[in-house]
Structure 1
Amino acid sequence: MKTTNLLKMKKVLFAIAITTSIFTGCSSDDDDPIVKAPVQGEISANYTTNTVLAYGNYTLKGMVKISSGVTLTIEAGSTITADKTDGEDGLVVLNGGKLIAIGTADEPIVLTEKSKVGGSWAGIIMYGDAPIVNSATAPTPQTATSEDGLGLPYGGSNLTHNGGTLKYVRVEYAGQVITTNSKEHNGFSFYSVGSGTVLENLVSYRGNDDGFEFYGGTVSGKNLISYANSDDSFDWQDGWRGQENTNWFAYQTGIANYGVEVESKSVNNTFWPKVTNMTLKRAAGTTTEAQSEIQLDAFQFKAEGNGDFSNIVIDGYNSQTTPTAFTGGAVQIRDLNTFNNQVLTGKIKLTNVKLNNTPTIFISGVSTINVSATSFGANWSVSATATGAAITGGKWATVDGVNLLANL
């Protein structure tokens, strides 16, 4: 009886040993992470049902729209490539639609163009129904028509409109201008986008128009990089009023206009946007896009544009000598109404400002005004300890081996 039990016990122990060897005797190669191969695909039709684009490489053909009530999700690490030879390309989020594009620092979502020439496609365009103000006399809510050639209305009363989430997304070589002042695109165009939308860690790289443009709305952006865009790095109009903007970096090189262009369709608003931690840098030798007007200041305010800006580094906004001599500076006020209604009433605030290689601080756009530090009072202050933007890099901020934050 004891011998039988002993034999049974030995069989059990042997079975346990075999089982253990199966799970622990694997080679070290089996411990390596599984590398997921990117899928190949084409984006050419409008999205009318919820869709997930798996991690992969996609070609973009046409002005592809995400319909109202539809969510398009793009997985981290994906690359979407337009080709200017097939016509006008762009990714458009219609009002009520959502784009969920959440990359990571090491696996950004990249939207680029085959030729790597600025102005080759339309970039990302998002519509909402957050408030805009484009007339002093029109009733609210107000609407306007887009300038992207689609001729779509934007505006409304939905402060918290949600167009989705964009994190660690880079747009390259966009800013297509087809007919000046009637059909223009930027890297990112936000038409009356609301505060429910998340914009974080975004790059607009080497576009032919503005890096980021806000057409009214209440959305805010965090950790934004506008690099080597040929017009303005950041631009807005229609009474944009985002309140939680922080860590903006503009690097202008080659051809570029203003670091920040601010206007409000000549409406003297009682509100304004707020941006903290900004670095605006202009590389030596950078010339203006057009020689017909002064376009090389860090900030330009016109048509009742305003805003509250703090912890700012302004670097390299010198005067231009060729091909046309222009005076560069830190702040330009373009017109009398903006001076009287925005500067003198404290609606333009520029505090904790550090100036490097920018000998001229204030520029008066017309002879009827004399802009100075006195004009701003306590709403202008300089500081040798201002730090500007603080942004953590990674693959999301690296293009062709170039660290976009190297000059921050």
Structure 2
Amino acid sequence: MKKSILQLFGIFALSASLITSCSSDSGNDTPSSTFVVDANNFTGIIKDGEVILSAGTTYKLTGKLQINDGATLTIPAGTKIEGTGGTASYIAVAQGAKLNVNGTASNPVIMTSGLPTKKAGDWGGLVICGKAPINRVTGGASTAQSEVADLTYGGTIANDNSGSIRYLRIEYAGAAYNSEKEFNGVSLFAVGSGTTFEYVEAYQGADDGFEFFGGTVNTSNLISYGNEDDQFDWTEGWAGTNTNWYGKLAFGKGNRGIEADNFEFGFANTPISNPSITNITLVGPGSAADALIYTENQGLKMRRGTKAIFSNVVLSDWKTGIDIEHDETIAGVGTALKVTNVNYIAVATKTKGKTTLAASADVSAVATELVSATGAGNGVGAPAWSTGWSVGF
């Protein structure tokens, strides 16, 4: 009898263990989404739960795909998303939503053109909106509507989390409608420091590669290659910590390596744009490039009150290496705005300054030189960390 009871207890224990195991493995902790995925017509609004795409599958992005507050889109390594609807096809992450891109160095996630002959502007790009501070109203408590997707961004949550994005390549995206409305390869609107954003390339887009509109997101290992405007751009009080950036213009296209503002309509608005960038290479078109093509031939254009700290920098093939404009920006030269250990290669004018009233200003104190500086890791060459997942080198 005792033996039978023990055997019966053992059966109950085993059954309980199996039930617990099955429950744990079923993924019931994450509610399923009501969104129905169609790989050949990948568009619509993800309103709830988590949508997990299938690894190795190609999805045709035929229109806007929007992820709303409380919902998550997870993209596994090796997945490809092809935009086929022009700038009407783009991916937008709203405040409170999450995008997880789980690429690897050997198997990145690729967002690209789905057209037979691929070119810049074939689709819209990636837009992420968070709740971190912006400075459209001084003090940082404001919100605004994104240039594209018309989504709210901004707020007071500095550590806001919009997901985890690793090993992602974005190709042939972007469009500039006018001076105030543009698709970039990636547009980061008030994205917070709780977001992971690393190993991302913006390749041959029709506007900027990466643009930061306020926020506090930190980044590493970014490549902006052959985009038709600036390779990197920031405004509205962005203040992130960054390492390993590489930017290069394509022949006959592109403007600046970096175009940096505090805020166009309030040079002293707070919080002030104030990122730090360690290990950066910016390669231009050549210092004697055709002025009709390259009207903004500058490695770093710092203006409208921005601050920034750079270290270990390679600036190659620019007419002007560091160009600083406006009184509020110049006031920070050598302290809140400085570029330490710069290796200038074929740069005609190393530094240039202009006051708000357009008078020349000596801003040479902004930089210190070091001919052995390696920038993103390998001077003007492809850095080791770009191997396997990037293109263009």
Q: TM-score range by the shorter chain?
A: 0.7 to 0.9
- Equivalent position amino acid for 2:97 in 1: G
**Aligned match of 1:229 in 212, 218, 227?**
227
Distance between the aligned counterparts of 2:218 and 2:277, measured in 1?
9
**Aligned match of 2:352 in 363, 370, 379?**
363
Instruction: Say if 2:386 is the partner of 1:384.
Output: no
Q: Point out the structure with the larger strand share.
A: 2
The equivalent residue for 1:101 is: 101
For structure 1, which runs of at least 5 residues remain unmatched after alignment?
Answer: 1-38, 318-327, 399-403
Distance between the aligned counterparts of 2:74 and 2:165, measured in 1?
10
Matches within 5 A, 1:303-322: 303-317=304-318
**Aligned match of 1:133 in 123, 135, 142?**
135
Shift of the 302–393 alpha-carbon distance from structure 1 to 2, 3 Å rule, reads closer
Whether contact under 8 Å (1:259, 1:299) holds in the other structure is yes
Distance between the aligned counterparts of 2:208 and 2:91, measured in 1?
17
The equivalent residue for 1:171 is: 170
Instruction: Say if 2:333 is the partner of 1:343.
Output: yes
Q: Structure 1-normalised TM-score?
A: 0.78
Distance between the aligned counterparts of 1:62 and 1:51, measured in 2?
17
The equivalent residue for 2:249 is: 252
Q: Structure 2-normalised TM-score?
A: 0.81
- Equivalent position amino acid for 1:383 in 2: L
The equivalent residue for 2:25 is: none
Q: How far is the alpha carbon of 1:393 from its aligned partner?
A: 3.0
Whether contact under 8 Å (2:210, 2:231) holds in the other structure is yes
Whether contact under 8 Å (2:333, 2:363) holds in the other structure is no
Q: How far is the alpha carbon of 1:72 from its aligned partner?
A: 0.6
SS of 1:133 mapped into structure 2? coil
Structure 1 range deviating more: 253-262 or 186-195: 253-262
SS of 1:88 mapped into structure 2? strand
The CA RMSD measured in Å over matched residues stands at: 2.0
SS of 1:395 mapped into structure 2? coil
SS of 2:105 mapped into structure 1? coil
- Equivalent position amino acid for 1:74 in 2: I
**Aligned match of 2:122 in 115, 120, 133?**
120
The equivalent residue for 2:208 is: 210
Max Rg structure: 1
SS of 1:201 mapped into structure 2? strand
Q: How far is the alpha carbon of 1:290 from its aligned partner?
A: 6.9
Distance between the aligned counterparts of 1:219 and 1:361, measured in 2?
30
Distance between the aligned counterparts of 1:316 and 1:228, measured in 2?
14
- Equivalent position amino acid for 1:354 in 2: N
The equivalent residue for 2:380 is: none
Q: How far is the alpha carbon of 1:187 from its aligned partner?
A: 0.4
Whether contact under 8 Å (1:63, 1:90) holds in the other structure is yes
Q: How far is the alpha carbon of 1:269 from its aligned partner?
A: 4.7
Whether contact under 8 Å (2:132, 2:156) holds in the other structure is yes
Shift of the 188–279 alpha-carbon distance from structure 1 to 2, 3 Å rule, reads same
The equivalent residue for 1:14 is: none
